[in-house]
Amino acid sequence: MADTDKQQLSMAASAIAMRGVSLFLSAGRAAAERRVAATATAPRSKQPKPVVPGSRPAQKIFDILLKSTRFNKNELEALFTMYRKLVTAAQGITPNTAIGQPPAKVDGIDQSTFRDVMHNTFDLVTEEAILERMWVTWERGSGGGEGALKFEAWVKGLSRLLRGTDDERVAHCFAVYDLNNDGYISKDEMFLLLKNSLLKQPGDEDPDEGVRELVELVLKKLDVDKDGRVSVKDYRDAVDQEPLLLEAFGQCLPSRRQASAFLKTLNSKA
Which helix (H) or strand (E) element contains residue 87? helix 73-93
Would you put residue 203 in left (φ > 0), alpha (ψ -120 to 50) or beta?
left
CA angle 226, 251, 160 (to 5 degrees): 90
Q: What are phi and psi of 185, to 5 degrees?
A: -105, 110
CATH architecture of 9-36+52-269: Orthogonal Bundle (1.10)
For the chain, how big is the Rg over CA atoms in Å?
Answer: 21
C-alpha–C-alpha distance, residues 141 and 29, integer Å: 35
pLDDT values of the chain reduced to their tens digit, one per residue, 270 residues = 555 554 554 444 444 434 443 443 344 444 444 544 444 444 544 444 444 455 788 999 999 999 999 999 999 999 999 999 999 998 876 555 555 555 556 679 999 999 999 999 999 988 899 999 999 999 987 656 668 999 999 999 999 999 999 999 999 999 999 999 999 999 999 999 998 777 555 555 667 888 999 999 999 999 988 999 999 999 999 999 999 999 999 999 999 999 999 999 888 875
How far, CA to CA in Å, does 259 sit from each of 124, 150, 231? 11, 21, 28
Question: Domain limits of the chain?
Answer: 9-36+52-269
Question: How many other CB atoms sit within 10 Å of the CB of residue 195?
Answer: 18
pLDDT in the model for residue 200: 56
Which helix (H) or strand (E) element contains residue 231? strand 230-231
pLDDT in the model for residue 59: 93
* 104 contacts 174 by C-beta, under 8 angstroms: no
Helix (H, G, I), strand (E, B) or coil at 250: coil
Q: What are phi and psi of 177, to 5 degrees?
A: -80, -20
C-alpha–C-alpha distance, residues 224 and 1, integer Å: 15
